[in-house]
Each structure stands twice: as C-alpha cells, then as structure tokens.
C-alpha cells in the first residue's frame, strides 16, 4: 500500500509530495508542527495537540489553515487512506509561499499545510523493559522554546551527539547549569523521597509536552507527588529513577545519564506505575482527554 501525503487540500502519493521552493517553512523555518501518536487506530491526545498547534501559530501570528473541525476530518482521512493503525501523524503549518524577505508577507498569502503519516510499532512490554542511556549537552536553542517551531537545528545537533555517544536521547543544559528538556522529549527524575521532578514550563524554558500534561494530571489523580522545579545533571545522576516522555516515544525509562547508572539500570517502580497509568489512559477511547495548558 503506497503512502499518502496531504499538501494544501490534496491527498497525493508520498513520493510525489512537494512544496514550493519559496515556502517560508523551507527558507526560514517559519512554521509550526505537531506529531500525534496513532495507537490502535485512535489519534491519542488529539485535543491537546490541536490546542498547542493553535497556540503556537498564534504566537507567531499565523492563522490556522482551516477550522479545527475541518482539520480533524483531514487527519482522519489521512489515517483512512494510509490504512495504518499504529504510527505517527506529522502536521506542519508554515506562513506560506512568498518572495524571500524577512518581513511578513502580504496578509493575502495563505498558510501552507502538509501532513504525513508513517507506521510505528508500540510494543509496550518491550518498551517498558528497554531502559536506555541519555547524555547531557549544552542547550543552544532560541529562547521561545514554548513555541513548537520547525526551527530544530539545536535539537538535531543535540540528538546527533547522543547518537555518536551511543545514547537514546540528549538532555539539554541551560547557561545556569540546569537541565531544560530532551532534544525530542521532556525530562523527568524521581528523587530519593519518591518525588517526581520535572522542569517548570514557566518563562518559556521548555516546550510543554502534551504527554507531560497528561502525566501531571494522572499524578494528581493518583496522589503521586509532582514537583516542578529546575534540577542539575549532578542531581539527576543521583536520582532513584529517570525517564523521558513524548508523543511517540511515550515513556522511556533511563538507564544512565552521562554514564552514571540510574537505580539498577532498569525501569523503576514509579516509572513502571506511571507507564501503566498512561497507557490505560491512552488506550481507552472513551476517556476524557486532558486539556493542554500552555502555562
């Protein structure tokens, strides 16, 4: 079955999908994106991802390319046409096509909308068992990390450092010596008292993850102590447990940070419980989705 892409209202073969050379997303990274997990035929945390898409577009003064309900119909049509039950739906909106110039183009220029869908497997027992190493790198990104921008060079370079060092993820460290987040995930540790700690979303220091928001709500529901505060690599090295969260990686247990073994190097009890709680939440189509909050 050939893959199908969406480009500005047209469903076309993936290998034929193109955008104009002067699309501002291509020349300036002047755009926003979202990635929505498709698990067992359901788009997970769809409300949160669309809330964040609208918010990010508003922050850069780009209009939604179509009403939300129409976009949701197009998203489901992508799933239907690709005949995929498990995967990742990529959505990208740019400011549109215009002669190359740093200033905004005419208001008449319409945003560009593209979507692709690729197959992924969500082997939950295998994922839970596979604790993986992370490394820390300097955070060289711009200061509006709350915006899910397509300008991802800092994350690309961080991820490649991780790959070169045999790690699965890079945790980025700001100029004050505190961990912000992963190259493509949020960063979490569990301290000796069993408290769950992650970087606050205040002051645009991180992108507030949709999966992160769901986990925060589940912690409150289950009475798991949740603390939003900055933490250093040195504190992370001494953590009882650590993990990352993202839309497609879900929850990834961390075995080591910069070579420092975390716990016994395997998934810990708090992470294991959160994994089960999140998957119960994500796999239940009748659940009420958590509303995403940018703060």
Would you please indicate which residues are annotated as catalytic (active-site) residues? 148
Please, are residues 30 and 94 in contact by the beta-carbon 8 Å criterion?
yes
Q: What is the CA radius of gyration of the chain?
A: 19
- Return d(Cα 211, Cα 248) in angstroms, integer: 9
- Return d(Cα 78, Cα 58) in angstroms, integer: 25
Please, are residues 164 and 134 in contact by the beta-carbon 8 Å criterion?
no
Please, are residues 44 and 79 in contact by the beta-carbon 8 Å criterion?
no
* Residue 10, token pair as written in the block: 């047209």
The shares of helix, strand and coil residues in the chain, as percent rounded to the nearest 5, are 30, 25, 40
Task: Give the helix/strand (H/E) hosting 186.
Answer: strand 186-190
Nearest alpha carbon to residue 34 among 88, 79, 111, 95: 88
Question: Which of helix, strand or coil describes residue 244?
Answer: strand
Q: Which residues pair with 291 in a beta bridge?
A: none
Angstrom CA distances, 256 to 28, 160, 166, 207, 265, stand at 37, 18, 11, 23, 7
**Which residue shows structure tokens 């002051």?**
203
Residues 6+ apart with CB under 8 A from 52: 34, 148, 208, 210, 292, 294
């Amino acid at each position: 079955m050939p893959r199908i892409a969406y480009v500005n209202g047209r469903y076309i073969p993936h290998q034929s999908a193109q955008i104009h050379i002067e699309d501002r997303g291509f020349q300036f990274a002047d755009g926003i994106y979202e990635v929505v997990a498709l698990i067992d035929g359901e788009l997970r945390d769809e409300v949160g991802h669309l809330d964040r898409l609208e918010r990010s577009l508003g922050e850069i003064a780009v209009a939604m390319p179509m009403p939300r309900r129409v976009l949701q119909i197009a998203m489901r049509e992508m799933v239907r046409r690709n005949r995929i039950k498990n995967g990742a739906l990529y959505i990208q909106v740019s400011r549109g096509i215009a002669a190359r110039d740093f200033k905004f183009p005419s208001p008449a220029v319409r945003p560009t909308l593209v979507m692709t869908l690729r197959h992924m497997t969500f082997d939950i027992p295998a994922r839970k068992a596979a604790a993986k190493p992370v490394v820390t790198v300097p955070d060289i990104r711009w200061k509006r990390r709350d915006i899910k921008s397509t300008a991802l060079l800092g994350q690309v370079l961080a991820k490649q450092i991780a790959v070169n060092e045999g790690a699965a993820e890079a945790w980025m460290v700001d100029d004050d010596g505190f961990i912000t987040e992963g190259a493509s995930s949020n960063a979490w540790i569990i301290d000796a008292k069993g408290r769950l700690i992650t970087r606050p979303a205040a002051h645009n220091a991180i992108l507030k993850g949709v999966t992160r928001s769901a986990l925060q709500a589940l912690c409150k529901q289950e009475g798991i102590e949740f603390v939003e505060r900055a933490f250093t690599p040195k504190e992370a090295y001494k953590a009882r447990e650590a993990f990352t969260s993202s839309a497609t990686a879900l929850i990834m247990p961390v075995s080591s940070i910069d070579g420092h073994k975390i716990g016994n190097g395997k998934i810990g009890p708090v992470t294991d419980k959160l994994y089960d709680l999140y998957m119960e939440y994500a796999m239940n189509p009748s659940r009420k989705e958590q509303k995403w909050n940018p703060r």
